[in-house]
Amino acid sequence: MTHYPMLFTPGKIGTLTVRNRIVMPPIATNYASPSGEVTERLICFLEKRGRGGAGLIIVEGAYVSKDGKGFAGSLAIDEDNFIPKLGEFTRRIRATGAAVALQLIHSGRQTKTEITQLPIVAPSDLACPVVQQTPVPLNQAGIVRIVQDFSLAACRAKEAGFDAIEIQGAHGYLIHQFLSPLSNRRDDDYGGSGENRVRFAREILNKVRETVGEAFPVIFRIDAEEYIEGGIDLDLSCFYCEELSPYVNAVHVSAGSYASRAWIVQSYFNTPGLLAPLAGCIRSRIKKPVIAVGRIHTPQLAEEILERGDADFIAMGRALLADPDLPRKAQIGEARTIMPCLSCYLGCSDRLRANLDISCFVNPLVGQEYMTSPKLEGNPHCLIVGGGPAGFSAAIALSERGARITLIEKRDRLGGQGPV
């Protein structure tokens, strides 16, 4: 019997065949080196998700221009010298059976000069309400430069062996800043109307398509809703997607910017899968594969979204932080053993906001996958006192290293804190 038949049916994004419909979306980790190189830590982190069964892994945003670097530990793809290490990276991820894409990004006004060591640029001289650093408006030469930077970065990604690229047009970064009436107050060909505000994104995608060719898959990430009065709404987003559809093979539908960050990463107060109907609206307008995202933490919900026709692929980001084996467990009928994401923000979003490397409240191995644990000699017998989460974790870790386990708990049940 096939569990979750739609979720585990292969899917296509342009010429790329993906083994199932589960996507690991781009999650900023701060695991790259200070110079933007791939590290063993980042490789092992994503290898684990590939071995766990994810169909497509979209690697976190790599900055295409030095003035577009968003975090201290951001990936870079603005120079050719990054290609060899990225090539090793793609070979190892693809060896797990997963397809691998790279997101290309320019942070625009959602970064700081302390990070980029350069002036911050944006469509207009309006500071991000969160970062609160006034940017320099891009002139025509600056726009042409960044369009070329995206094109060169796409060429490098293809040369490094990525199966696809994703252009980040959501979450308040530079392309989003041109698309949004809130951040774009220009009165030239790049502002004033929806037709003009989409011009920057269209020029980037057109140049990228010229560079990588018609056969190379290109995904565009967009906000269906900005959730700020006067910002991008669903009607405007649908218009943008229709305008950009000829240049892309799939659209990845999200929501929010730094000023509405709660919609980028939703908390446990939000309804699971709340953004999926928005993805469905866009899917009905563009006739291209759509990736839905937004607190989709269970295979049951993922299957329901596919059955409703709201999406063709399901992005499960924090769910794959909490349990990288979620796809494998779901496929073999062991969904009940999946470690659930709590939507708590504590390890992922909150740490990143403080410019720290990410972790996970329910999975202490996140970011530690590169640290190997040697086998214990002599098959030792270990006594573990306490049958809560810590005791369970210790028992599992020691058992995997070759120990025999006895676990004791003073109460008449296991599970840790609760009624005495």
Q: Is 173 a catalytic residue?
A: yes
CA dist 311 and 292 (Å) reads 6
DSSP letter for 193, please: S
Q: Provide the 3-class DSSP secondary structure of residue 219.
A: strand
Tens of pLDDT, residue by residue over 146-168, are 999 999 999 999 999 999 999 99
> What's the confidence (pLDDT) of residue 402?
87
151-172 core/surface letters (b: 16 or more CB in 10 A; e: else): bbbbbbbbebbbbbbbbbbbbb
List the beta bridge partners of residue 168: 221
Q: Report whether pLDDT(111) > 50.
A: yes
Q: Where are the domains of the chain?
A: 11-353, 373-420
Alpha-helix runs per DSSP H in 164-212: 174-179, 194-197, 199-212
Query: For the structural domain made of 11-353, what CATH number should be given?
Result: 3.20.20.70
pLDDT, mean over the chain? 94
Q: Report whether pLDDT(1) > 70.
A: no
Tens of pLDDT, residue by residue over 61-86, are 999 999 999 999 999 999 999 999 99
Output Rg (C-alpha) for the chain, integer angstroms.
22
Tens of pLDDT, residue by residue over 33-46, are 999 999 999 999 99
* Residue from 31, 63, 173, 190 carrying the catalytic annotation: 173
What's the whole-number mean pLDDT along residues 333-341?
93
What's the whole-number mean pLDDT along residues 202-231?
97
Q: Report whether pLDDT(2) > 90.
A: no
pLDDT > 90: what percent of the chain?
82
Contact 57, 93 (CB under 8 A): yes
Tens of pLDDT, residue by residue over 349-388, are 778 777 788 889 888 889 888 887 678 888 899 999 998 8
Q: Between β-strands 99-105 and 16-18, what pairing exists: parallel, antiparallel or unpaired?
A: unpaired
